[in-house]
């Protein structure tokens, strides 16, 4: 037995039936902790030089030009004469499409030798346009490939529920667990509860499993920040990441035994320290400046990332395109 516990605790009704709580020290909330994301090869790097709207416009233009090259010889063919020395163009649609795409990727073939005068002008305009596009694309491609790609798996409860790669757990009997169990059917909290991977109350084991990406864990945000700050001071890395969006804001207090005689005096001190900003100052000093590096998902890894050597995985997108 003890008169008072200096361990910050979340007040609940069930706990208040056997113990008393002090004035609140600060407010905390629940966040999801997961392994700190790292730099990965960028499979989508080959499409990054242009915005998706540019790719869409380019695709539509290619289709329109292919149709124009296919139809133009049919329309003007009756005006061709043998004395021109031109051979009637192969008017198959597949030839027009492949030739147009060939010019786009710098692989023009025999098509230019078998065209009408008007088609030659169309092809010349297309060659000029694709040359500009090609040079712009090549100039940006390598730069885009070597830029760091950091995958953030989720940043709120909705995204946690929608992803299937990383299971998640929480502490048995926690306030968050009780809230999920008592949530109405079909609500977000209830659906998160239904997909829960299990419970864990062994703190060292929880931290290890988060660091090794065995599962994500839902718990109080402030202790997470302390763990990240401590890990960063030792290793230069955050080790884990927490979501920026939080849930269930709640007060944190000290614990008294029932009828503790010094409760009023201690509560008065807590109120004075809190309202003067001393408690917030002590809390920030406990983290140190390291926690600011780890708060934003992926910020630490991005801050250290420069140009990197290309990996095989960086070319998967290009290889898949060529295979197709």
* Residue list for the binding site: 15
Alpha-helix residue ranges (DSSP H) falling in 25-163 = 52-76, 93-104, 117-146, 157-162
Q: Could you give phi then psi for residue 156, rounded to 5 degrees?
A: -160, 180
In 3D, which of 221, 288, 281 has the Cα closest to residue 252? 221
Rounded CA-CA distance 180/199 in Å is 13
Q: What is residue 198's three-state secondary structure?
A: strand
**Helix (H) / strand (E) containing 188:** helix 188-194
Bind-site residues for L-glutamate? 15
Rounded CA-CA distance 206/64 in Å is 58
In sequence order, the 6+-apart residues with CB closer than 8 A to the CB of 57 are: none
CB-based contact 254:9 (threshold 8 Å): yes
In 3D, which of 35, 37, 28, 33 has the Cα closest to residue 218? 33
Rounded CA-CA distance 95/115 in Å is 12
Rounded CA-CA distance 306/148 in Å is 8
**Helix (H) / strand (E) containing 220:** strand 216-220
CA 26 to each of CA 3, 13, 92, 129, 197: distance values in angstroms, whole numbers, following the listed order: 22, 19, 75, 62, 30
Strand 168-170 and strand 216-220: the pairing is parallel
């Amino acid at each position: 037995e003890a008169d008072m516990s200096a361990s910050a605790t979340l007040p609940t009704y069930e706990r208040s039936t056997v113990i008393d709580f002090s004035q609140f020290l600060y407010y905390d909330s629940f966040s999801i902790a997961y392994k700190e994301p790292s730099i990965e090869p960028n499979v989508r790097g080959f499409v990054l030089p242009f915005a998706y709207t540019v790719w869409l416009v380019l695709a539509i233009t290619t289709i329109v030009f292919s149709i124009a090259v296919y139809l133009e010889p049919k329309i003007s063919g009756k005006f061709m004469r043998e004395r021109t020395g031109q051979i009637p163009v192969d008017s198959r649609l597949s030839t027009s499409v492949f030739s147009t795409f060939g010019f786009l990727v710098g692989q023009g073939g025999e098509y230019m030798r078998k065209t009408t005068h008007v088609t030659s002008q169309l092809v010349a305009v297309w060659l000029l346009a694709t040359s500009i596009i090609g040079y712009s694309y090549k100039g940006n491609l390598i730069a885009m490939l070597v830029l760091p790609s950091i995958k953030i798996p989720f940043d709120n409860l909705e995204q946690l529920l929608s992803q299937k790669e990383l299971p998640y757990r929480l502490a048995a009997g926690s306030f968050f667990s009780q809230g999920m169990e008592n949530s109405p059917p079909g609500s977000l909290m209830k659906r998160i509860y239904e997909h829960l991977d299990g419970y864990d109350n062994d703190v060292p084991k929880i931290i290890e499993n988060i660091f090794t990406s065995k599962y994500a864990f839902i718990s109080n945000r402030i202790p997470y920040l302390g763990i990240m700050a401590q890990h960063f001071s030792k290793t230069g890395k955050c080790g884990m990441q927490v979501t920026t969006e939080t849930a269930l804001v709640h007060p944190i207090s000290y614990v008294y035994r029932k009828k503790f005689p010094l409760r009023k005096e201690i509560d008065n001190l807590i109120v004075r320290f809190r309202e003067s900003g001393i408690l917030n100052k002590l809390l920030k000093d406990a983290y140190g400046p390291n926690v600011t590096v780890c708060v934003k998902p992926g910020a630490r890894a991005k801050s250290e990332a420069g140009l990197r050597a290309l990996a095989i995985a960086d070319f998967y997108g290009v290889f898949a395109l060529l295979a197709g």
